[in-house]
């Protein structure tokens, strides 16, 4: 598959299907639930929108990533939680309702926060004037990539709930297939660059993933949130929408840099294994008890 077909046809379709599948599981109540769980939502969003980019920057600097890979990792940190976070949270006895709410709210916020974080990252790692940053005019394109398929899915769920229920499982399976295919194609496309930076990018992706899971779980526990909510937040900020990050990196209309897609591709492979281990550990060990 040529790079042109991957970036202009296959990748947008893959992302649209994944985001449409997310929309099929969302209803207006998922946004209104913010009022019901204000503390948990605020803690989760603060960790994801503010804390994670800072942690990611520290990881990128510590591992000495070349500018393109560093920005790619920051792009991943700016991406909202992946749809698989809901499934992993369910398996790990997390608060799935909170997961769905965080995913819904953060997906909307990402339309604004993603360009800001990526712009700042480009300026820091490449230097002022050395690249064309992701201008705010690109917000409309991110809106089209992220929110339109979600909105269509929500409309289908509202008007044809029976059909939406039947479609959730096949769309989820198709989403996983597309995600795996996108990761494989991205890695294959830049195998030479990946091989040259395998140790650094692999170590950075793993370190960022483990740190994300730890922050997502232990910060809520230290703030006296229930364990089920802590598990949900841990999964939410530990499992990112790698397909969105790859799409923004590869799109000729946005970053148009294949090397920036590598961290998201590597992270997308790692996160499923670490999330499974994380879910097992927090259930076996029970985690620290909140103070009364």
Tell me the pLDDT tens digit for each residue of 182-226: 777 767 776 776 677 777 889 999 999 999 999 999 999 999 999
Phi, psi of 262 (to 5 degrees): -60, -50
Residue 289: per-residue pLDDT? 44
Whole-angstrom CA distances from 154 to 54, 161, 246 are 33, 10, 24
For residue 261, give the 3-state DSSP assignment: helix
Whole-angstrom CA distances from 141 to 8, 127, 149, 247, 253 are 13, 25, 12, 11, 8
Residue 234: per-residue pLDDT? 94
Task: Measure the CA–CA gap between 57 and 73, rounded to whole angstroms.
Answer: 8
Residue 130: per-residue pLDDT? 55
pTM of the predicted model as reported, rounded to 2 decimal places: 0.79
Domains and CATH numbers, the chain: 3-285 (1.20.1530.20)
Residue 290: per-residue pLDDT? 42
- Nearest CA among 57, 58, 113 for reference residue 81: 113
Tell me the pLDDT tens digit for each residue of 132-154: 555 555 566 667 777 788 888 88
Task: Measure the CA–CA gap between 171 and 20, rounded to whole angstroms.
Answer: 8
- Residue ranges, the chain, pLDDT below 50: 1-2, 287-292
- Cβ-count burial 139-170 (b if 16+ within 10 Å, e if not): eebbeebbbebbeebbebbeeeeeebeebeee
Enumerate the H helices of 127-226 as residue ranges.
139-159, 161-189, 191-196, 198-222
Residues in Cβ contact with 100 at an 8 Å cutoff, skipping those fewer than 6 apart: 25, 26, 30, 86
């Amino acid at each position: 598959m040529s790079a042109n077909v991957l970036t202009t046809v296959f990748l947008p379709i893959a992302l649209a299907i994944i985001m449409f599948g997310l929309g099929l599981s969302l209803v207006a109540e998922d946004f209104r639930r913010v009022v019901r769980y204000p503390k948990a939502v605020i803690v989760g969003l603060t960790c994801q929108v503010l804390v994670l980019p800072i942690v990611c920057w520290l990881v990128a600097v510590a591992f000495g990533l070349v500018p393109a890979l560093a920005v790619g990792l920051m792009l991943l940190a700016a991406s909202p939680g992946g749809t698989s976070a809901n499934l992993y949270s369910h398996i790990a006895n997390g608060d799935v309702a909170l997961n769905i709410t965080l995913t819904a709210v953060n997906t909307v916020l990402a339309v604004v926060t993603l360009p800001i974080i990526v712009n700042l990252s480009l300026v820091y790692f490449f230097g002022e004037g050395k690249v064309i940053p992701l201008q705010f005019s690109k917000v409309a394109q991110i809106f089209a990539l992220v929110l339109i398929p979600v909105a269509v899915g929500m409309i289908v769920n509202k008007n044809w709930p029976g059909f939406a229920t039947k479609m959730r499982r096949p769309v989820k399976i198709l989403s996983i297939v597309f995600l795996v295919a996108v990761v494989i194609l991205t890695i294959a496309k830049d195998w030479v660059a990946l091989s040259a930076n395998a140790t650094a990018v692999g170590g950075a992706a793993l370190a960022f993933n483990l740190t994300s899971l730890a922050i997502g779980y232990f910060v809520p526990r230290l703030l006296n949130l229930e364990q089920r909510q802590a598990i949900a937040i841990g999964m939410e900020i530990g499992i990112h929408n790698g397909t969105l990050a790859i799409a923004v990196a590869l799109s000729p209309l946005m970053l148009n840099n294949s090397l920036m897609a590598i961290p998201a591709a590597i992270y997308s492979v790692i996160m499923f294994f670490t999330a499974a281990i994380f879910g097992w550990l927090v259930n076996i060990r029970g985690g620290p008890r909140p103070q009364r």
